[in-house]
Structure 1
Amino acid sequence: MVNGLSVDVEDWFQVGAFENVIARDDWDDLALRVEDNVLRILDLFAEAGVKATFFTLGWVAERNGALMRRIVEAGHELASHGYDHARVFTFDRTQFAADIRRARETLEDAGGVAVTGYRAPSFSIDQRTPWAYLELAEQGYAYSSSVAPIAHDHYGWREAPRFAFHPLPGSDLVEVPVTTATFGGKRLAAGGGGFFRVLPYGFSRWAIRQVNRRDGRPAVFYFHPWEIDPDQPRVPGAPLRSRLRHYTNLERMAPKLRDLVREFAWGRMDEIAQREAARAVPLAA
C-alpha cells in the first residue's frame, strides 16, 4: 500500500499558532529558515528513496525560487498551500479566488511546472466554506487535501468522510482528507504534524497499519519544515498552549521521520488522489 507523504512548506513564524502575535507585515524582517529545513528534508527523502508533495505557500515560493526548482528536479510534486497562510474561512469566495490564483501563479513561475493540488492552511475547508470547492474546480485544480475529519479546537470538519470524496456533483475534483484512525467508535487524528511529534512513534505505526490493512486505504501524512528545526527562534508573548504545541519534541522529529519513511511505502499526493478518485464517495448534502 502506497501512502501519501506531504510537507506543508511554511516558515516558523507563519503558523496558525502565532498568527495573533506575529504580524504579516513583520515577516520580511524575521530570519528565514525554511530553505535549509527543506533541503534537509529533501536529503532525508532521497536517502529513503521516497517521493512526496510539497504544499507550499506562494509567499515562500516568491522568495525561494531556486528551492522550488530543487523540489521539482528531485521528482516531488509542487502544490499550493495558499499565498500567505490565511485560513479559508476568513475569506469570502472572491478573496479566496484571488488568494489561490496568486499562489498558483507564483508557484508555477518559480517551479516551472503546472500546479494541480491544493491544501488549505490549517485544514480550513469545512462546513463554513461550501464555495471553496466551487472555486477550486473553476480554477482547474484536480484535487484538494484540505480536510481534517475530526473535532479539534484549532480546525476540523467532524462530519466529513474519512476517506476520499467528491465534494461537487458532476465534477472530477476529489478531496483526500488527512488520516484519522478509529478507536472505540471515535476518530483520532493520526495524519502527522504535532500529533506525530508529541505521541509515541508506535501510535502512528498502529494508525497507518489500521488504515492500510483494515480499511484498505492509503494513509495521508503531513508535517512542516520547522518541525525538524529545534534551533528556531522562540516567540515571546505566544500563549502557553501554542508554545507547547509548537516546540515539544522538535529534536525528536527528524529521527522519527526517518523511521517512518523507511517502514512504509510513500508517494506523491497527486498520484494518491488519482487512484483514490475512482473510490471516492459523493459528499452528502
Structure 2
Amino acid sequence: MHKRNQSTITEFFLVGFGDLHNVKIFVFTICLIIHILALTANILVIALVGVTKSLHSPMYFFLSQLSLSEILFTSNIVPNMLWLILVGGGKISIARCMAQFYLLGVPTIAQCLLLAAMSFDRYVAICRPLHYAIIMTFIHQLLMVASCWFLGFTLSLFIYIFLRKLKFCNLDIINHFYCDIAPLLRLSCSNTSAVELVTAVGSFPVLLTPFMTIVVTYIIIIRTILKIRSNVGRHKAFSTCSSHLIIVCMYYGTLTSIYIFPPRDNSIDLNKSLSVLYTLVTPLFNPLIYSLRNKDIKAAIFKNIQALRLRKAEKS
C-alpha cells in the first residue's frame, strides 16, 4: 500500500490486471482486436442508418444512438485498459479519474434509457400499429433521444459534483482497470453519505424505471403476439423483438452483476472479468446481434457494397 500519513493524495494507482508475465502481449492483442471490431461495427451501424433510406425508421434511429453510446463508453475505458495491460498497472490523477467516471456514467445512463425507448417503439409497432406513424413521429424520436442523453449528462454531473468534494488520503490503490464509484468511495477518508444518497436516488430513474418499463411493455407485447392467429405473423412479430431482448438481457445482466449484486472483495477477479465483459465484449455483441438477426441491415450492407463496386467500376 502507498501511505502518506494523512496527507491528501493527488493521484491513484490503478492495479489493472497485474503482471500478466508471458501472456501480456497475447491478452493485449486479443483485447485490441475486440476493441477495433467493436468500434468498426458500431460506426458501421451509424453510417448505414445515416445513408440508407430503408433504415430511416425509429427502431434504427434508436439503434444508431445505442451504437453511439457504445462508442463513447468503450473509447473511454479500453485505451487506458490496454495501456495498463502492457505496463502492469499505472498512475492516474484524481481529476482524470473523476473525468473517466463521469464519461463512464453518461453513456451508461443513456443506454439504459435508450433500451427503454426501443422497447416502447416495439410496443407501439406491435400493439398499436395503426397509431404508429402518429405516435413515433421524427419530432417525438428526437425528444426521446434528447431526453436520454440529457439525463445521462445531468445525472452523471450531479454524482460527479459530489465526488469532487471527497478527500482522499493514505490509501491510493484501486484494484481495478478503471475508476468506478465503489472503489472511490472505499478510498475516501471523508464522509461519503451524500454521494451514496445521490447515487441511490439517481439509480431509480436510471436503472429501475427503464427496466420496469421494458418488462411491462414486453409483457403486453407477448400477450398481443400470442393472440395473432397466423404462425407467420407471430414469428415475424417475435423476430422484431428478439434482438432487442437479447441485448437487454446481456446489458442488464452484466450491469446487475457489477453494481446491484457485486461480488465480494475476495472475488475481485470475478468483478474484473464481468467488467471486461461489460466494457469490451458487450459493445461488440450489440451491433453484431442486430446485424446477424436483421434482414434490413444485411440488405443495407449488401446494397451499399454493390453501390461501391459500381462506383469503382465506373471510375475505372
Higher helix share: 2
Higher relative contact order (CA 8 A, sep 6+): 2
Query: TM-score range with shorter-chain normalisation?
Result: under 0.3
Tell which structure's C-alpha radius of gyration is larger: 2
